[in-house]
Amino acid sequence: MQGLSSHQGASVDASAAKSAGLVILGKLEPGFEKVLTPEALSFVEQLVRAHGATRERLLAQRQVRQQQLAGGAELDFLPETEAIRQGDWQVAPIPEDLQDRRVEITGPVDRKMVINALNSGASVFMADFEDSTAPTWTNLVNGQINLRDAVRRTIEFTNPVGKRYALKDEIATLFVRPRGWHLDEKHVLLDGKPIPASLLDFGLFFFHNAKQLLARSTGPYFYLPKLENHREARLWNDVFRTAQAALGIPYGTIRATVLLETLPAAFEMDEILYELRDHSAGLNCGRWDYIFSAIKELQGDDTYLLPNRDQVGMTRHFMRSYSLLAIKTCHRRGIHAIGGMAAQIPIKNDPAANDEAIDKVRQDKVREASDGHDGTWVAHPGLVQLARSCFDEQMPTPNQIDKRRDDVQIDRTDLLKVPTGTITEQGVRHNLDVGIRYMAAWLNGNGCVPLYNLMEDAATAEISRSQLWQWVHREGAKLDDGRPITQTLVRGIFNEVITAIRDELGAEHYLAGRYALAAKLIADIIFDERFTEFMTTVGYAHLT
């Protein structure tokens, strides 16, 4: 295929990688030619050449801002964009099939999951190439094939015992989440360098499916993860301009919801919506990554110390403040504010525990609906109807964008208020256990793992490991019994956790499941003097 080279090895000489097009290092398995066509790859190359340099510059600016924060700078609303915040503008009108988004389900892009999620009764399915998909080459390309087949309504799946899965007549509206700006795709090179993972995920899906979606009275809809400021939103808007022009698709066809999952982005909600105003589908409160981001961004602040992970929920002041501000901001601009993820999963073997989990979900969704959110997220099909009933009761209309929330007054102190609570030995132990188990699953190609009755993905695992780093490196951090949290203490608990996992699994499964490597990587991340920006970038070097 012209413009497509394939190398089966793990690496390739830089001089050999330079060509007129993309160089594919990943294995070209049967069926991959459906999406890795010369035309699609040429389109991806066009996006990378047009926007790759800007992406690199913006990532460098992230590091500069982090250094400034470490040097005593403070997060605040930008004085230079006050006119945008005060201006009387709105985003483009909402497409008909996006008016009602009361329940959204998310999950990885494997074939069975895509079918079940589209059939789940949710309003929206967000097919996720990011936090819930481990980015093996096979997962990524098969995910593109699965979505291509789903858009065309030809997707089917038969499990090993002969059960067949296919789409119903009524399915959820499809959104796609490409990987974040910070991630590279090591299996695809341009001029000898890995290309931005986000542009591969976006480009392949858009090229193959945009016109098909329009023909079916919907459109190419996306979720944009881990944006840190309005300049990064502007880059996505520029990518959308290039993509639509290249395929001859009307300007404004693409719609994108931005996930508010970084602390800096909370101070630039208006600005982000403004940059994407012709392509916006609103904002979503990505609560788990937001907690992780707060730890990362304020790593140099000795006063910012979070308690146990299970004590940091949406009712805490800094979390509720950012949720209310998102509602107020979105509704003022005429667009949806989508609530956060319920990570609980049904507990089949313990009715009492299941009732308790369901009650937590119900309280969370009732609060979101009564606050003014226009929809919410769930991680499991079994929670779709529960979430829907909560929103149906509070929101009889397709959305509640007319609920302006002018009563909400949020300032920087609200967004930065430190939650109080306790750090327990069990909290340390749980974070270590989750971190190791999740990293092992991720290294084996599974990015979405049920652990202790919660659906863990990269975002929730990032909380666990970042809290551990914070507790170990923050002078004065103590357990609730008064013991200082030292490296010696945590290493001792760490060894106990590893031993318990190995005893539970057996030595053979422990080694085959790459738990030893996972434990080493988590230990390196926790005990390194420097804060590791993303645990998945560390694991990616070991992902086969």
Q: Tell me: the pLDDT tens digits for 184-195?
A: 999 999 999 999
Report the pLDDT value the prediction gives residue 308, as an integer from 0 to 100: 97
Q: Is 465 left (phi over 0), alpha (psi -120 to 50) or beta?
A: alpha
Q: pTM (2 decimals)?
A: 0.94
How many angstroms separate the CA atoms of 329 and 337, rounded? 8
3-state secondary structure 320-331: HHHHHHHHHHHH
How many angstroms separate the CA atoms of 347 and 452, rounded? 10
Active-site annotation, residues: 177, 457
**Residue 40: CB partners within 8 Å, gap ≥ 6?**
203, 204, 207, 208
Whether 424 shows a pLDDT value over 80: the answer reads yes
**Residue 179: CB partners within 8 Å, gap ≥ 6?**
129, 130, 135, 185, 197, 198, 201, 225
Report the pLDDT value the prediction gives residue 18, as an integer from 0 to 100: 36
- 189 contacts 47 by C-beta, under 8 angstroms: no
**Residue 91: CB partners within 8 Å, gap ≥ 6?**
273, 276, 277, 278, 280, 282, 333, 334, 335
Residue 16: pLDDT band with limits 50, 70, 90: very low
Q: Tell me: the pLDDT tens digits for 464-519?
A: 999 999 999 998 899 999 999 999 999 999 999 999 999 999 999 999 999 999 99
How many angstroms separate the CA atoms of 506 and 489, rounded? 26
Report the pLDDT value the prediction gives residue 279, as an integer from 0 to 100: 98
Which tokens sit at 392?
């149906």
Q: Tell me: the pLDDT tens digits for 260-316?
A: 999 999 999 999 999 999 999 999 999 999 999 999 999 989 889 999 999 999 999
